[in-house]
Amino acid sequence: MMHEPIELIREEETAILVEYMLTPDLFEAYGLKVIDIVPKRGIYRIETDQGFKCLKKMKSGRKDIYFTHEAIEHLSQNGFNKVSRIRRTLDGDLFLTYGDDTYFMMDWIDGRECDYENPIELDIAVKTLTELHNASKGFTSKHGDEDRNQLGKWPELFKRRCDELIIMKEMAEKKQKKIQFDEIFLKHADYYYEDALAACEELKGLDYEGLVKKAKDEKGFCHNDYAYHNILISYDHQNVAVLDFEYCIFDLRINDIASLVHRNLKKCFWDIDRAEYILNRYHQWSNLSDDELKGIYVYLKFPMDFWRIASQFYLENKRWRDETYIGKIIDKSEWRDLREDFLQDFKEMTGM
């Protein structure tokens, strides 16, 4: 299975882990005796006298931990137990703060990351997503904020990202000393900008407002980061767990479905058969409407990967080496022809 390069994963993990403040007070607050501490993909696995625990630092604001907790508890109460619940401190708190940092702890779940190249595990991932979506219905939060509610915002979001592509193109053009990343970005910027505009137009061709109304009535939410490394599967395929609900949002369920399709396409040279398999399996367990299929096409039509890596370079200034950025922009740009063929095949497959 093709994943991110090991050196890139380590670079990102190191940047996260060095900022942790592992003090005795932190573990005493949970009444734990620590035996060993091991770094794992941006978090720490803590071996304690009460079993293995996961220690994680919140990337977003402290109030988000309440929303995350409510979402996980809602799923559990609705029978979706494939989650790790947040462990409270001895004082009953959901998190601990040290200066500007916020930490929380969960029980460690054994398993390995889902392999989308394994049809059995891909099937498990799709079925688990339908179960998650069904269990999420009826959710309300006492601690939600507007940033968590993306229902009805696709037109605004897509337009803003189109505008950002233009802004980033202007930034690249104005640079007197261009690096390879700038040159690659400028080579493809117009092409992907046109695709982004086309996606905005395609969005007008479906009953988006109808989908939003249905989602609001159902009160479900999306995981919003349903990646292979957030799906743990036991070695005998009998148990599965979904991790990292920190980014969950109110949005159309096709946000998760299209994201799952997209993550698979990057691993199989944009093979239409992989997309068809995922959508058919999801549809088997939870019916997908014609407008939802159109919405998935719109999501895939928008050049999300190209926009994201450019945004990370020009607007967010993430702390990566130039070689990392260059490798990523090459990877995101090299599938133009295959991507075009796939989008045409998708239209024919769905009768659009």
Where do the domains of the chain lie, and which CATH numbers do they carry? 6-108 (3.30.200.20), 119-350 (3.90.1200.10)
Predicted local confidence at residue 19, as pLDDT = 61
Structure tokens at 186: 């400028």
Element (H, E) at 44: strand 43-48
Predicted local confidence at residue 14, as pLDDT = 47
pTM beyond 0.85: the answer is yes
Element (H, E) at 161: helix 154-174
Nearby residues of 333 by Cβ (< 8 Å), 6 or more positions away: 184, 187, 188, 306
The amino acid at residue 135 is A
Answer whether 292's CB lies under 8 Å from 254's CB. yes
Tokens 């990566």 correspond to 320
Nearby residues of 58 by Cβ (< 8 Å), 6 or more positions away: 64, 65, 95, 101, 102, 103, 104, 246
Mark the ranges of the chain whose per-residue pLDDT is less than 50: 1-17
Predicted local confidence at residue 320, as pLDDT = 81
Spell out a b/e string for 14-53, using b for 16 or more CB atoms within 10 Å of the CB, else e. eeebeebeeeeebbebbebebeeeeeeebbbebbbeeeeb
> 319 burial class (0-12, 13-18, 19+ CB within 10 angstroms)?
exposed
Strands 43-48 and 34-40: antiparallel
Spell out a b/e string for 206-215, using b for 16 or more CB atoms within 10 Å of the CB, else e. bebeebbebb
